[in-house]
Amino acid sequence: MDLFTFIKTEFARQNSKIEQLENLVRQIPTTHNSTLGEWLSEEQTKELLQRGTTSLWELRKRKILKFKKLGGRTYYNHQSIIDFLDKK
């Protein structure tokens, strides 16, 4: 097997694993009973802060709320939300 074929095969294998992980993440419940620990879904955060999507984007942009993107979804750090609420 030449190097190009090996790289192409390895890339396809890794891409398949990523797709499997994305499918698993999409199945994670985004309700208040979520098991994400210190991370809240965007819907939970909007409800908690009573703010919309654009407002959360602005808070992310200004680095007020810590966040992670996973499987096309945004999750917010619980402690950064508490810190934000404490400053209000």
The enclosing domain of 16 has a CATH number of 1.10.1660
pLDDT tens digits along 44-82: 999 889 999 999 999 999 999 999 999 899 999 999 998
Q: End-to-end alpha-carbon separation of the chain, Å?
A: 62
Domain hosting 57: range is 3-87
* Phi then psi dihedrals of residue 39, to 5 deg: -115, 135
**Is the pTM here over 0.85, yes or no?**
no
- Count of domains observed in the chain: 1
Burial state string for 4-18 with b = 16 or more CB within 10 A and e = fewer than 16: eeeeeeeeeeeeeee
13 versus 34: which is more confidently predicted?
13
